């Protein structure tokens, strides 16, 4: 049974804070293990990657099978269900259309002192895309990682995905083909992140690494940040559903389990103003768990990490939402806008009773790589901007430098940097 909290209880604030701040990964510290893997790959390159692949994925990585060949990708596509390929095409078109609207514009102007100012945006040269392949295969993640990079203009995309016993999901490869990725490696885990960051044999280093993964992948991304850019350090999946008693309990139960089935560390939360409805949802969750093909995973997430919170009014929900800062937020009410306006921290927000989180995972258009573990307080979901950087532009002529240069020199003097000051004053003479 998920944790039950009631905002009317005297100890609610204490219990809520304890719930929000508790550790969902069981306190496991993987940093030392990951640090060892990273150091080994950085020192020994492909040999280390081979050793870890044998250990963790149970197959021998060779020069021939490291990279997926073009004919393998074509064969995998031919093995896919045509209806599934059609769904991929549909999703890819919508994802691209959405991300094209995110492209930033350059700016150039001259201020009132005559200084030419502005900025320009350019993309990185190479991006590494990590696509999970452990508990489940995610062709949707291929599209969500690759299409924003392509829209940004990135020329080289290198994809790494674990291949247990050397096998890769055909639909994952078909998605890669649709996204324009032809550099695909059968490697996963921290060793894949290290190979993308530092290079390993034929795998050349990239500039940025994006994509979700398990605790080892997340920690590896944390450790290579600075050598390369990263999107975020992703944690277990989360969903928070705000729902009134007008909803069908079966719908809301399915929404809650849609994230619980990802991983035993996932988190599902219901906030409602109807205690009787909360009881009905709890029953519906139990009924659906019995029928779930991923029951063991979802049940662990529901019982160990999830919660049902009853409030006096849904007007009280935004404060709780912002404290949780969920990855996914569903506002399953007739008029979601008033709540939406008050919410500041969430990775993605789904409006109304007919917008289940799953449409965002696949076909809505926005990226499903989102901040977790309360990171929505300061971070955003994956976007075109994760593959771009902004460069400032500054231009002066002699007359302009005479206007602004003396103040720059004075500040340089004040900071004890005489060569800074001189570089200006020699031009003023």
- Percent pLDDT > 70 in the chain is 98
Please check the confidence at residue 5 and state whether its pLDDT lies above 90: yes
Q: pTM here?
A: 0.93
Helix (H, G, I), strand (E, B) or coil at 17: helix
Which residues neighbour 405 within 8 Å (Cβ) at sequence distance 6 or greater?
396, 424, 425, 427, 428
CATH superfamily entry for domain 3-22+235-377 = Nitrogenase molybdenum iron protein domain (3.40.50.1980)
DSSP code at position 203:
B
CATH placement of domain 45-105+121-230: 3.40.50.1980
Q: What is the pLDDT of residues 181-206, one digit of tens each?
A: 989 999 999 999 999 999 999 999 99
Q: Do domains 3-22+235-377 and 45-105+121-230 have the same CATH topology?
A: yes
d(CA 72, CA 52): 24
Averaged pLDDT score across all residues of the chain: 95
Which residues participate in catalysis according to the annotation? Answer: 327-328
Q: What is the pLDDT of residue 58?
A: 86
CA distance 7 to 377: 23
The string of DSSP letters for 145-179 reads HHHHHHHHT-SEEEEE---GGG---HHHHHHHHHT
Confidence of residue 134 (pLDDT cuts 50, 70, 90): low
Is the pLDDT score of 167 beyond 90? no
- The predicted-structure confidence for 245-304, as pLDDT tens digits, reads as follows 999 999 999 999 999 999 999 999 999 999 999 999 999 999 999 999 999 999 999 999
> Which pLDDT value is given to residue 26?
55
- Calculate ∠ Cα 341-345-350, nearest 5°: 65
Tell me: pLDDT of 212 over 90.
Answer: no
pLDDT at 215: 87
Which run of H or E residues covers position 403? helix 398-414
pLDDT score, position 137: 77
Query: Where do the domains of the chain lie?
Result: 3-22+235-377, 45-105+121-230, 396-428
Is 359 a residue whose pLDDT tops 80?
yes
**318 has pLDDT over 60:** yes
- For residue range 21-57, list pLDDT tens digits in order: 988 765 567 899 999 999 999 999 999 999 999 998 8
Exposed, middle or buried by CB within 10 Å (0-12, 13-18, 19+), for 30? middle
């Amino acid at each position: 049974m998920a944790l039950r909290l009631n905002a009317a209880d005297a100890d609610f604030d204490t219990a809520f804070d304890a719930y929000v701040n508790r550790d969902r990964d069981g306190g496991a510290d993987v940093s030392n293990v990951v640090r060892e893997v990273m150091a080994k790959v950085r020192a020994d390159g492909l040999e280390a990657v081979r050793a870890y692949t044998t250990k963790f994925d149970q197959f021998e990585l060779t020069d021939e099978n490291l990279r997926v060949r073009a004919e393998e990708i074509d064969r995998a596509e031919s093995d896919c269900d045509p209806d599934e390929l059609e769904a991929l095409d549909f999703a890819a078109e919508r994802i691209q259309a959405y991300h094209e609207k995110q492209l930033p514009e350059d700016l150039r102007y001259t201020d009132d002192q005559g200084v030419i100012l502005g900025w320009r945006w350019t993309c990185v040269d190479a991006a590494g895309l990590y696509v999970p392949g452990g508990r489940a295969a995610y062709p949707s993640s291929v599209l969500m990682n690759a299409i924003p990079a392509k829209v940004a203009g990135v020329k080289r995309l290198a994809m790494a995905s674990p291949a247990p016993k050397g096998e890769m999901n055909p639909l994952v490869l078909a998605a890669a083909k649709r996204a324009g990725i032809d550099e695909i490696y059968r490697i996963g885990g921290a060793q894949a992140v290290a190979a993308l960051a530092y290079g390993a044999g034929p795998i050349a280093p990239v500039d940025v690494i994006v994509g979700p993964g398990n605790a080892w992948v997340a920690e590896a991304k944390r450790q290579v940040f600075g050598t390369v850019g990263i999107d975020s350090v992703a944690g277990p999946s989360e969903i928070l559903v705000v729902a009134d008693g007008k909803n069908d309990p079966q719908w809301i139960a399915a929404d809650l389990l849609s994230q619980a089935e990802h991983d035993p560390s996932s988190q599902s939360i219901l906030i409602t103003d109807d205690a009787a409805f909360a009881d009905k949802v709890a029953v519906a969750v139990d009924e659906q768990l019995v029928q779930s093909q991923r029951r063991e995973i979802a049940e662990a997430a529901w019982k160990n990490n999830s919660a049902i919170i009853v409030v006096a009014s849904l007007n009280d929900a935004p404060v709780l939402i912002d404290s949780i800062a969920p990855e996914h937020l569903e506002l399953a009410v007739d008029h979601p806008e008033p709540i939406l306006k008050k919410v500041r921290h969430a990775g993605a927000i789904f409006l109304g009773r007919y917008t289940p989180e799953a449409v965002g995972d696949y076909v809505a258009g926005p990226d499903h790589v989102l901040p977790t573990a309360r990171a929505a307080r300061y971070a955003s979901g994956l976007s075109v901007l994760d593959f771009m950087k902004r460069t400032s532009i500054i231009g002066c002529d002699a007359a302009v430098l005479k206007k602004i240069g003396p103040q720059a020199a004075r500040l340089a003097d004040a900071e004890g940097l005489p060569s800074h000051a001189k570089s200006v004053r020699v031009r003023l003479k």
